[in-house]
Amino acid sequence: MDVSVVLSEVDLRKDWFLTSWHGNALFWDGVAVCSRPRRPGMAGQVFARPWKEGILLGVIDPVNVNWVKLGVDRKARLVASPDEATCFELVAKPEGGFGICCDQQYMCCNGDGETFTVSFDRPALSEWETFFRDGYVQDSLHGPAGLIHPLTREKPRPSDAWKTYATEPLGITLNGGVRPVAQHRFSLVACARWEENYIVEWINYHKSIGFDHIYLYCNDDEPDTLYGKILPFVDGPAPFVTFYHYPFKGLQYQMYFHFLRHHATETEWLMFLDVDEFLCLRHANDVALFMQQFPADIDALYFNWCLFGNNGYKTRPSGDVLTHYTRREHGAGPFTKVLIKSASVPYREIYRRSNAAIMHSYLDLNDSLKSVNVLNEDMAGYYENFPDYAWSLLHAQNRRARIVEKGFIAHFNIKSEEDFDIRVRRSLAGNYACEAQWGERTEHERTTFMMHTNVMSDTYLRDYWQAYLKDGWKHSVFPKAQWPLLSQGKSATQSSTAHAGTVQDDAIKILSGEIWGKSQNHTLMEDNPWWVVDLGDVCRIHEIRFFNRMDGVFERVANFRMDSSEDGESWVVRFEKRDDREYGGIDGAPYICRSDKGFDARHVRIVIPGKGKYLHFDQVQIYGTAPDT
């Protein structure tokens, strides 16, 4: 039966009423269906809500509360009656339970009339307040900020969820009015067009500084190329990137609002960031660590732009952005990007004002947001009379330099002289219409812009990124050498050979640069067998690596002596290994002699000391610096 019809047929004045002088009683057709003793003379309230194909009727006063289910057959029964609880509101789920927000407890009743309570240690009534909105209860003083108590609103059918498009994120709608627990802490949202050459670096960089998810909207005519580039990030059970193709060109607001509607509740913090923008957290390089410097109750953190120039490139070079572009303007510029708590995003206001530049600021939509910049200064009024007021603030108290020394958005919008025209060719549709200004600039204006954005060197991002990429060596089978390889392909000889061919032919085999796990050279058994390499010139030797054969008899070269000479006549003992310890080679454990100070030599000789010995190696590698370096 249609519950709304049943409820509309109830005449509160005729069919039922509350008597408040002789007791707390609910009457239906003149028959008391529930009653409780109470102090006479106190007024009460009556609530009626659709509930389980009938009506839920409530009799409330400041001392007692009774809840009665009235069925479509007009038979009633008591379903909940908490004692001595000041009740403030009823919230009923038409197909399930209902909840009562009381002074010391939150009472819930399921569809079968079984009740349970959730109690809170509340201060005096005057010290707390409860807000009611759209049929659910939010406690503003207890528990985590934004905590919505459970069992408050029926989850709508998926077919009806669209009805809240203009009012709240879909995650809240589908969770019965309760904001779901976020899956991610820090997330980025980006729209990308013609960014396939830079997207992987951009994703990897922001992943390296602690962002745990990215929502990427491809605005290319066809998604194939960009999607192919990021495929490793979208595959698997826990992808790092959520990917969408949005075929309508330049509709940035629509893409951003699609995210807010479908994904905003999945993350605690979010930032709208372009692919030519990199968040630089100087001396922190970690967004969670950086955020520890600011009060926990802020809603938003504002980062200023700083424009990086074309570094003299006429056309775009191939490769990473961060390693190629190290010149920038003097300091921070007036435009900002915002890292904001998703629960603080003014969703309804954004829907109403589709021209709001939410990527730059939210304060014109909600001026009560607690917003600060990286210097922990209040951002209220920053965008008034923009950009004049913003520039006046930046030029005062050395803010331009201080902001860039703390944290900022490195904006690489002009990567070469041809970029002025590339930005126009990309598209002028929708929000891209503003790109026309770049193509309209005169040669003088272009030259002036490039001069201002290349005025000083800043290698922080380049150095960070290069150091980060070098971490790949931590996963190398063999450690990275600090110096160039000098010995490969050089001439060598040895005391004898057990192989066919000359001693020189046998000796150079261990300088080929190819490891096999076998002995590639081999002397006869003799006293003190030796091997020597001629580097062709006197070099500074810093490191020598010895790769043993891996098919047994490891002990034969466990001990050795290393000599050096500048002329091949006079020799100096540089190192002696006499500990009998065996070592490996191709398995990743060669024996390595290293000296930061190093020594000068053209000739390096290896001797296996003792009587009746063999000398054989898989490879020998000598590292250092040649005379011309």
Asked if the model's pLDDT at residue 163 lies above 80, the reply is yes
Number of domains, the chain: 3
Alpha helices in 353-454 (DSSP H): 388-395, 399-406, 419-426, 436-439, 443-452
Domain harbouring 607, CATH code: 2.60.120.260
Per-residue pLDDT at 157: 58
Mean pLDDT over 547-556 rounds to 97
Q: Are 512 and 418 in a shared domain?
A: no
- Same domain, residue pair 453 and 346: yes
CA 308/CA 329 separation, integer angstroms: 6
End-to-end CA distance of the chain: 91
Same domain assignment for residues 453 and 510: no
Judge whether 312 lies within some domain: yes
Mean pLDDT, the chain, rounded, equals 81
Residue 316 lies in a domain: yes
Would you say 288 and 268 are in contact if contact means Cβ atoms under 8 Å apart? no
The span from the CA of 209 to the CA of 290, in Å, is 10
Q: What is the pLDDT of residue 356?
A: 92
Residues 443 and 535 in one domain: no
| 409, 303 contact by CB (below 8 A) | yes
pLDDT of the residue at 58: 52
Helix, strand, coil in percent for the chain, rounding step 5:
25, 30, 45
Between CA 290 and CA 528 the distance in angstroms is 62
Average pLDDT (39-51) is: 42
Q: What is the pLDDT of residues 203-214, one digit of tens each?
A: 999 999 999 999
Rounded mean pLDDT, 498-517:
97
pLDDT average, residue stretch 67-78:
43
Task: Please indicate, yes or no, whether residues 260 and 404 belong to a single structural domain of this protein.
Answer: yes
67: confidence class by pLDDT, cuts 50, 70, 90: very low
| Pair (420, 521) in one structural domain | no
What is the rounded CA–CA span in Å between residue 371 and residue 379? 6
Q: Which of 108, 139, 170 is the last residue before a domain boundary?
A: 139
- Global pTM reads 0.70
pLDDT at 141 over 70: no
Q: Which domain holds residue 585?
A: 491-625
Alpha-carbon distance 331 to 286, whole Å? 22
Last residue of a domain, one of 74, 107, 139: 139
Residue 150 has pLDDT above 60, yes or no: no
The per-residue pLDDT for range 405-453, each reduced to its tens digit, is: 999 999 999 999 999 988 888 877 777 778 888 888 999 999 999 999 9
> Does 321 lie in the same domain as 420?
yes
Q: From start to end of 414-490, where are the E strands?
A: 456-457
Residue 364 has pLDDT above 50, yes or no: yes
Q: Are residues 416 and 562 in the same domain?
A: no
337 & 211 share domain: yes
Q: What is the pLDDT of residue 380?
A: 97
Q: Tell me: do 38 and 116 sit in the same domain.
A: yes
- Are residues 104 and 119 in contact, defined by beta-carbon separation less than 8 angstroms? yes
In this prediction, residue 65 has a pLDDT band, given cuts at 50, 70 and 90, of very low
In a domain, 145, yes or no: no
The burial of 7, by beta-carbon neighbours within 10 Å (0-12 exposed, 13-18 middle, 19 or more buried), is given as middle
Q: Tell me which of 139, 168, 200 is where a domain ends.
A: 139
- What CATH code is carried by the domain that includes residue 342? 3.90.550
In a domain, 57, yes or no: yes
Radius of gyration, alpha carbons of the chain: 38
pLDDT digits (tens, 9 = 90+) for 260-300: 999 999 999 999 999 999 999 999 999 999 999 999 999 99
**Per-residue pLDDT, 244:** 96
Residue 133 pLDDT greater than 50, yes or no: no
Same structural domain, 445 and 557: no
* Residue in the structure block whose two tokens are 């002699």: 593
Higher-confidence residue of 25 and 488: namely 488
In this structure, is residue 152 part of a structural domain? no
Check: CB of residue 563 under 8 Å from CB of residue 514. no
DSSP secondary structure of 51-95: ETTEEEEEEE-SS-EEEEEEETTS-EEEEE--SS--EEEEEE-TT
Averaged pLDDT, 504-527: 98
User: In this predicted model, what pLDDT tens digit does every residue of 585-613 receive, in sequence order?
Assistant: 999 999 999 999 999 999 999 999 999 99
Band (pLDDT 50/70/90 cuts) for residue 8 is very low
Q: What stretches of 420-552 adopt beta strand conformation (E)?
A: 456-457, 491-494, 530-547
Asked whether the predicted pLDDT for residue 136 surpasses 50, the reply is no
Is 90 exceeded by the pLDDT of residue 342? Answer: yes
Q: In this predicted structure, what is the pLDDT of residue 159?
A: 67
**Which of 38-47, 225-234, 617-626 has the least mean pLDDT?**
38-47
Is 413 domain-assigned? yes
The answer to the question of residue 467 being in a domain is no
User: Is residue 562 assigned to a domain?
Assistant: yes
The reply to whether 280 and 415 lie within a common domain is yes
